[in-house]
Structure 1
């Protein structure tokens, strides 16, 4: 990062058309990590795994927390896919979280040089948090609020979340990029990760058919190593173990060229999630801090 902030961020980011393959990690912040922990783990993401971005997941409502995220990201040369967390109970806490994030984005001079996109999520359509017309309106209002900062806005969602709302084309039309939840373990056709490419491809094709050429990212994207009360398969053949979690990411690597040749410069993907401490079963790291398997994904091909 430069020692002096540029005048603006209009020439700051690489062209999204150059972004494909592995981008970084989903990173849950419900623990309200300390600045030192954020800095340590963001450094690991950047230097160990060659990550370019961190996609936030969950929420921390502590005042000033996003400023800590910005500082850690700035110090480690990372961009952030920020998140306005709706939760799962239909409450209105998201409004305060939206306002707090926007306040930080406008007041922190480094924030616009770190925040690559603001996401509404997680899965607000699938969870029916807002009717799709209201969600589309929120996206439009957010884009207007952040227009002076040149920060785009999107929704973090499953293909099925759109499909069960009649396609929610108004949301697809409003968002700046398409940020996709890709969780093929939950498909009714799921078996082992090595067989999941047709499931991945099917969802991607739906977004190609309806997304009007917008840039696509797989942000909540992975395969669990264990089941839990909240992680249950919809297929009797779906297998959750460390080997299948590993195999899923190997599968994505094998299809690097397919991602690269997708519309608008290709599809970039995140690994969900950084550590089992953040979401049991999905972490690259176990809850004891050890890597569960070798993870050296391709960042280009």
Structure 2
């Protein structure tokens, strides 16, 4: 094992039974672990070319995990370097290691499989991708890592795959499912954050398309909800009309509507509220604007992805929002 600050941030797990087992020295939150037998991992071979990402498939039992690091995150480049060094020490051959610009920016990000928020958030200007492969007696094993960050936290997504002939162990630590948590009925009203206007909303489909192409997401900041509820106000919203026109112009375009809250209240309550508000926006797009259901999904991130501090009212107002995240499209 090599030494140095980049390497010591990640410690090898001895006698790991999976393809790749990082252990993070800096405390992080495991957001979920999903094991899928008889699956395929598509490893990126090179940066995006003409809007597509060249890949090679590796078949076997696929495991998907992601972590969030609220403090002590050394930066996307440092984490990528540490992961690469550990993979080399484990006998892997590196296939591709690139940053946002080198990978191909927007085209690469939306050409690979990325977990939906809140399990993974990707800053299109600050991410690293890493793919690696090695041969074993049972067959090939492979790893694909994506490292990025939000305004206040580091994010790591890790996919690893091993031959189906090797029995898959049970998860070694408790993990949350990728679906939003179910919330029990509460005897007292939960603290319900309000969505308010923070910035000017895009007014045309062209504005929506431009913003989504440049950043991968757009805040629908003219939305408002009934006080203390997840019901969308009964009025017309320019951002939804523009978003509907954008989606209906190309049936290949798909988005995720992601609700966000401030940090008041529990994570479970805030996740529930943010999910319901994103679903309300989805229903408005489908029922009022005629957007096909297959083009829109809804997710709730609660308070896990702030864009401002939660220590001031101004910051909390900015954090209460619904965003459209572009998943695919031509």
Q: TM-score range by the shorter chain?
A: 0.3 to 0.5
Bigger CA radius of gyration = 2
The structure where strand makes up a greater share of residues is 2
Q: Which fold has the larger relative contact order, with Cα–Cα distance below 8 Å and residues 6 or more apart in sequence?
A: 1
Q: TM-score, normalised on structure 1?
A: 0.34
Q: TM-score, normalised on structure 2?
A: 0.32
